[in-house]
Structure 1
Amino acid sequence: MALNGEKFELVRYGRNEDLKNSTNYKYNNQLITEKEHVKDLGVFMSDDATFSHHINKIIEAGRNLSGWVLRTFNSRDGQCLKTLWKCLVVPRLEYCCQLWSPYKIQEIANLEAIQRSFTVKIQGVQHLNYWDRLSQLKLYSLQRRRERYIIIYVWKILEGRVPNVGIVPNYHPRKGRLCYIMGTVGSIQRVKTIKHNSFTHNGPRFFNCLPRDLWDQKDTSPECFKRKLDKWLDGLPDHPPIPGYPYSHHNTLPEAVQNQGQLGTCVS
C-alpha cells in the first residue's frame, strides 16, 4: 500500500528536550512535520499530554452550533428545543468524552455555559437560575453526563463488552465488585495531575462510588444498567460550577456521594 508522506505528522511527548532536538523522522527522504496538536479519530492529541486544545475546539464548535440552531428554528417550545439540543449539539460536546473529560474548573464552566445559554431561551424557565432550570427540564449538567458516560464505559469493560484500556477489577468479599484505583506516586506534580484525572484513574473512582447493587449488575443489558444508574443519579444534587454562582466543588460524583452520605444506598 502506497502511503502519502505529506500527510504524516509527528507529535513528541516527554521532558527529554535533548532527545527531541536530536531526532528527526523522515518518509521517502521527506521530513515529517512536527506538530503541537494532532487530530486522531476526531480528538486532538497535544504534546503536553492534556486535552485543553481539544476542549477549546469543542467549546467553539458547541457555541457555533447552538447559535445556528437558535437562529434557524423560531420555536422556543421546551420539547422542541430539548430535542434539537440532544440530537444536534450534545453529540458534538460529548464525542469520546471518556478520554478528554476536563478537570479544570474553568474548562468545566465554559462547557457548561453553552447549555446554560441555550436553555435560558426555552419558554417557561427563563426566570429560573441554571441549577433550577436543569431540574425543571429534567436535564443533567454536561459535567454529570460526562461522568455518567465514564461509569457506563467502565461497566462495559467489566462486562467484556468493550476493549479494556487499563481498568483492573478488584473484587471485595464484603463490598462486591469494585475497580482498583491506580496510584500516582513517583512522578512530578504535573504528571501526577494528568494521571489523577485520566480515564484509568477517574473511571474506577466514579464506578466505586456507586451503591453495591449497581457494582454487581452482571449479565444484564446496558439499557437496564443505565435505567438503574439514572434512578440513582436523580437522587443526587447536580450543581455544576458556573461563573457568578456559589462555588460548587462537590458536584463530581465521589464528592457528591460523600457530601450526601449516600454511599451504599440501594436502588430497587
Structure 2
Amino acid sequence: MKFNKGKCRVLHLGRNNPMHQYTSGVDLLGSSTAEKDLGVLVDNKLSMSQQCALVAKAANGILGCMQKSLANRSREVILLLYSALVRPHLEFCVQFWAPQFKKARELLERVQRRATKMIKRLEHLSCMRKG
C-alpha cells in the first residue's frame, strides 16, 4: 500500500510555533488549522469548541427529525429514542473532547433541555432554572 501524501496534513500546535514547512520526499505537505481524527475535531489551539458545535448540530438534527415524525410523545418512547439516537453523539469520545468552556457546556445542555421539552408531562422541567 502506498502512502497517500495528498491526505497528509500538518497541524501546527502552540502559540509560538514557527510554522515550519514540512516535506515528504520532494512534495510539500499542506498545513491545516483543524483536523478530524477518529471522529473528533481538533484545532491548532487544542480547543474543543468546534467539536462541541458539531456534536450539538448533529444531535439537534436528530431531535428535529424525532419531533417532526413522532405522533406518540410519551416518556418511554422519547427516552428510548434519545438513548439510542442522540446520546451516542453526545457521549462519543467525550473523555477526550470534554467541553472546557462554559459556552460549550451550555450548548450541549441546550440539546438535553430540548429533548426534555419533547416529553409530555416534563415540559415544565426545561423552563426551570438552577438555583
Residue number in structure 2 paired with 1:54: 51
Task: After TM superposition, give the deviation of residue 30 of structure 1 in Å.
Answer: 2.3
- Return the structure number with greater relative CO, CA threshold 8 A, min gap 6: 2
Q: Give the whole-Å Cα distance in 2 for the aligned partners of 1:29 and 1:72.
A: 55
How does 1:29-40 map onto structure 2 within 5 Å? 29-40=26-37
Q: Give the whole-Å Cα distance in 2 for the aligned partners of 1:97 and 1:112.
A: 14
The residue matched to 1:120 in structure 2 has which SS? helix
Counterpart contact for 2:52–2:107, Cα < 8 Å:
no
Q: Give the whole-Å Cα distance in 2 for the aligned partners of 1:74 and 1:28.
A: 60
Counterpart contact for 1:5–1:28, Cα < 8 Å:
no
User: How many positions carry a matched residue from both structures?
Assistant: 131
Residue number in structure 2 paired with 1:6: 6
Letter paired with 1:48: K
Q: Give the whole-Å Cα distance in 1 for the aligned partners of 2:23 and 2:71.
A: 54
Residue number in structure 2 paired with 1:123: 120
Identity over the aligned pairs, expressed in percent?
A: 25
Q: Which runs of 5+ in 2 are unaligned?
A: none
How does 1:1-268 map onto structure 2 within 5 Å? 1-17=1-17, 19-20=18-19, 23-126=20-123, 128-130=124-126, 245-246=129-130
Q: TM-score, normalised by structure 1?
A: 0.46
Cα distance per residue 1:179-204 (max 9 Å; x no partner): xxxxxxxxxxxxxxxxxxxxxxxxxx
Q: Give the whole-Å Cα distance in 2 for the aligned partners of 1:80 and 1:15.
A: 48
The residue matched to 1:49 in structure 2 has which SS? coil
Distance verdict in 2 for CA 1:67–1:103, change over 3 Å: same
Q: Which runs of 5+ in 1 are unaligned?
A: 133-244, 249-268
Q: How large is the RMSD of aligned CA atoms in angstroms?
A: 1.8
Cα distance per residue 1:41-85 (max 9 Å; x no partner): 111111001111111111111111111122222210110110000
Q: Rg larger in 1 or in 2?
A: 1
Q: TM-score, normalised by structure 2?
A: 0.89
Task: After TM superposition, give the deviation of residue 29 of structure 1 in Å.
Answer: 2.4
Letter paired with 1:4: N
